[in-house]
Chain A
């Protein structure tokens, strides 16, 4: 019966949220500096719907933070605009660490290449607290295509279609750059997320697709998909046989990674508390098993290192896109 009680609490929580949204907002914001952190619930926004890897990672970290800090860290899904809506919530929140979010690198490094300038989310609105993990892309093809390696594709001498997880995503960039730098004529077919792209490549609707390793791995292991390349700086632990694009002589390095952000100007002691609690979470067996299950590679670097990496990626991607004349969106 405990289950039902918890559901009731959860429903009550939802109701309370609805009420607070009707006017009594900011009740969760603590009274500020010098006080104990966290004071009351900490809202953790996620810019994707329930069930995707962004959501699951937020939930895994939320559970760790709750255990470490003894407060509740409810995950709030605010889907839309590649995560820009959730980012906005954090950017505009009071800088006391009561509103936080794990965000995706693609929103800052890749999406700006695909959308108009006034929709770009500015990294300067946030303090980056802690890196979380890397989520690699893999290029796959169905067995009926006859391709076993990237060289087979180059030799095929025909126009190749590639499925991506959407416009302005790392999947689009990694596949697009690969074909552009290998000088293969190719057409991007954007899907609404990883599952439909996976379906299309399994059903031979598209020749190849770039999707996240976690979404493809089961079909790779059972031989229903052939992996052609990964795009990280080194090979992926979960697919040790698959070469990186760099190894295959292509200047392509794209990965999705995630990191914890708080509003700009959040006090240092709050940021330190969050970072320490996250590091403690990373050490738990439960969290490490979670990473393995979802084919995630830990990227538990400091906030400053994340920012440096983001800035570097942003410039590098912009240069590459220009060099190869790649069109990600309306520009």
Chain B
């Protein structure tokens, strides 16, 4: 690392003009993060023409700010309205919304903001120190590794739910099925599109999540509260207590690491990182039964991890010229328009830009943390609004959000259908979480597996002989067999030492 270039980058960022663009960027990012649908990619596209006339470094600082600012905003609707705006926030809903219902929305949002700040800062440090080294390593992560990792993810999905394990698995299976809708990317064949061109690209994640979580919740609440007087949710504390912080510190630390490592992968790992961080916390917790009912670690871990991952996904863009997600692709395009080609030579050709952008993120995240404190206090008041007023507003937000993804009215109807499904699922005790997550992971498993088989020329032993995929699959087997092994060990112990205690309730069977 070139220390002088790094320090020059800092002096560049602290120029008043760049600070201003950084502030504008993160502010816009945070606002659009609150709105589901209109994501950072679309916002960057809209703002692109403005950047023609300003200095390239300032422009990229602002556009990058929109991207990571949006990660902060996304938490707010997940916790308050049960509307996960992106796949990586789905797991936050489980405990975040439960906390909100207990009047602890402020605690949840506060911890999420602190976790996001820590996670992002750890990631930027990693970006500063080891970006080029780790980027080369990440290239070893090919389709066989993605397939194995996503398979592990599907297994975790089935175990993170809090209710009935069988129901969670049924929902997950349905999610996997939904992932097959659309034109098959290997043969061009149509699957479950019923001749509709609109379905050829498959169903968008946001459409499914908004429907199952958001609209489903609205419908369920309308029925629940019908005729009952409105009791505004108590808003106990706006800011997390010392105890909350202490309880979350481990989760934030582990989440930062998990997020950083998975975020570096060139194909993007934000979803997997939040899922893995949540599952890790639940597994090592002494009281796993608290998860899903308002455990603060259940918010801290995924929010830290997805912010860390969002930040480290700059590594493949800036060092390899590979955009890991749609927003990164938009930034790639923006850089090209501004006359800069992201790739292996960027750090030598344009050290001002490379370090300017990275160092602006230290400051941008600090701004976001400071902005979050008063905003949390304002946003939690949403919960005081009567459902009769809040429900139509939420419905409007979801409809608008879903429309803006692809400018498609068809998607609105698909979302409403999923809303009805979500309502019925809630009535009969199915959780939407496993379904949505399995839906996201399903296409990664399928594409990764089929592509690997093409690469291996039809020989599946390749999955086990490659070091990384082999390790992940070994972890898969361990996770799958762990509960059974634990049960056997416990039984053996009890048979010899003490009279058998009641069977533990968290014994889950391997999924496959």
> Which A residues form the contact surface with B (CB < 8 A)?
3-4, 6-7, 10-11, 14-15, 17-18, 21-22, 49-52, 55-56, 59-60, 63, 75-81, 84-85, 88, 114-116, 118-119, 159, 161, 166-168, 187-192, 195-196, 198-200, 202-206, 214-215, 217-219, 221-222, 224, 286, 289-290, 293-294, 328-330
Q: What chain B residues lie within 8 Å of A190 (beta carbons)? A: 185-186, 451
Query: Does B407 reach chain A (CB closer than 8 Å)?
Result: yes
Query: Does B474 reach chain A (CB closer than 8 Å)?
Result: no
Q: What chain A residues lie within 8 Å of B447 (beta carbons)? A: 192
Q: What chain B residues lie within 8 Å of A7 (beta carbons)? A: 28, 43, 46-47
A290 touches B47 (CB 8 A): no
A10 touches B345 (CB 8 A): no
For chains A and B in complex, what number of residue pairs have CB atoms within 8 angstroms? 184
> Which B residues form the contact surface with A (CB < 8 A)?
24, 28, 38, 41-50, 52, 62, 139-143, 183, 185-190, 195, 197-198, 200-201, 266-267, 316, 320-324, 326, 329-333, 336-337, 339, 341-345, 399-400, 403-404, 406-409, 447, 451, 454-455, 457
**Given A199-B139, A294-B336: A330 in contact with B189 (beta carbons within 8 A):** yes
Q: Which among B183, B320, B407 is the interface contact of A81 at CB below 8 angstroms?
A: B183
| A221, B344: Cα distance in complex, Å | 9
B329 touches A187 (CB 8 A): no
B330 touches A51 (CB 8 A): yes
A329 touches B47 (CB 8 A): no
A59 touches B48 (CB 8 A): yes
A and B contact pairs by CB, cutoff 8 A, 11 listed: A3-B28, A10-B46, A50-B44, A167-B187, A187-B454, A187-B457, A199-B266, A199-B322, A217-B341, A219-B343, A290-B337
| A196, B448: Cα distance in complex, Å | 11
A51 touches B38 (CB 8 A): no
A221 touches B329 (CB 8 A): no
Q: What chain B residues lie within 8 Å of A166 (beta carbons)? A: 185
Q: What chain A residues lie within 8 Å of B28 (beta carbons)? A: 3-4, 7
Q: What chain A residues lie within 8 Å of B454 (beta carbons)? A: 161, 187-189
| Beyond A159-B457, A167-B183, A329-B188, 14 extra complex contacts between A and B, CB < 8 Å | A51-B45, A51-B331, A52-B329, A55-B45, A75-B45, A78-B407, A119-B190, A167-B187, A168-B188, A189-B451, A200-B142, A219-B344, A222-B343, A330-B188
**Given A56-B333, A203-B139, A290-B337: A18 in contact with B197 (beta carbons within 8 A):** no
B200 touches A167 (CB 8 A): no
A56 touches B343 (CB 8 A): no
Q: What chain A residues lie within 8 Å of B324 (beta carbons)? A: 195
A195 touches B46 (CB 8 A): no
Q: Which among B186, B333, B399 is the interface contact of A51 at CB below 8 angstroms?
A: B333
Closest to A199 in B: B266
Closest CB of chain B to A23's CB: distance in Å?
Answer: 10
Q: Which among A85, A196, A217 is the interface contact of B197 at CB below 8 angstroms?
A: A85
A205 touches B142 (CB 8 A): yes
Closest to A21 in B: B409
Q: What chain A residues lie within 8 Å of B24 (beta carbons)? A: 3-4
Closest to B51 in A: A3
| A51, B408: Cα distance in complex, Å | 19
**Given A190-B186, A293-B341: A80 in contact with B201 (beta carbons within 8 A):** yes
Closest CB of chain A to B353's CB: distance in Å?
Answer: 14
Closest to A220 in B: B343
| A329, B48: Cα distance in complex, Å | 37
Q: What chain B residues lie within 8 Å of A10 (beta carbons)? A: 46-47
A115 touches B323 (CB 8 A): no
Closest to B338 in A: A293
**Given A77-B407, A116-B190, A222-B343: A51 in contact with B326 (beta carbons within 8 A):** yes
B407 touches A76 (CB 8 A): yes
B198 touches A85 (CB 8 A): yes
Q: What chain A residues lie within 8 Å of B52 (beta carbons)? A: 63, 286
Closest CB of chain A to B101's CB: distance in Å?
Answer: 30
A14 touches B38 (CB 8 A): yes
B185 touches A15 (CB 8 A): no
| A330, B190: Cα distance in complex, Å | 9
| A11, B186: Cα distance in complex, Å | 37
A203 touches B140 (CB 8 A): yes
Q: Which among A59, A168, A219 is the interface contact of B45 at CB below 8 angstroms?
A: A59
B341 touches A49 (CB 8 A): no
Closest to A62 in B: B49
Closest CB of chain B to A24's CB: distance in Å?
Answer: 12
Q: What chain A residues lie within 8 Å of B198 (beta carbons)? A: 80, 85
| A87, B273: Cα distance in complex, Å | 37
A293 touches B336 (CB 8 A): yes
| A192, B142: Cα distance in complex, Å | 14
Closest to A80 in B: B201
| A192, B450: Cα distance in complex, Å | 13
B200 touches A63 (CB 8 A): no
A81 touches B45 (CB 8 A): no
**Given A55-B333, A202-B320, A293-B339: A88 in contact with B197 (beta carbons within 8 A):** yes
Q: What chain A residues lie within 8 Å of B400 (beta carbons)? A: 14-15, 18
Residue of B24, B44, B201 with most partner-chain A CB within 10 A? B201
| A60, B42: Cα distance in complex, Å | 16
A80 touches B451 (CB 8 A): no
Q: What chain A residues lie within 8 Å of B267 (beta carbons)? A: 196, 199
Closest CB of chain A to B366's CB: distance in Å?
Answer: 21
| A7, B44: Cα distance in complex, Å | 10
| A166, B201: Cα distance in complex, Å | 13
Closest CB of chain A to B25's CB: distance in Å?
Answer: 9
Q: What chain A residues lie within 8 Å of B321 (beta carbons)? A: 198, 215, 218-219
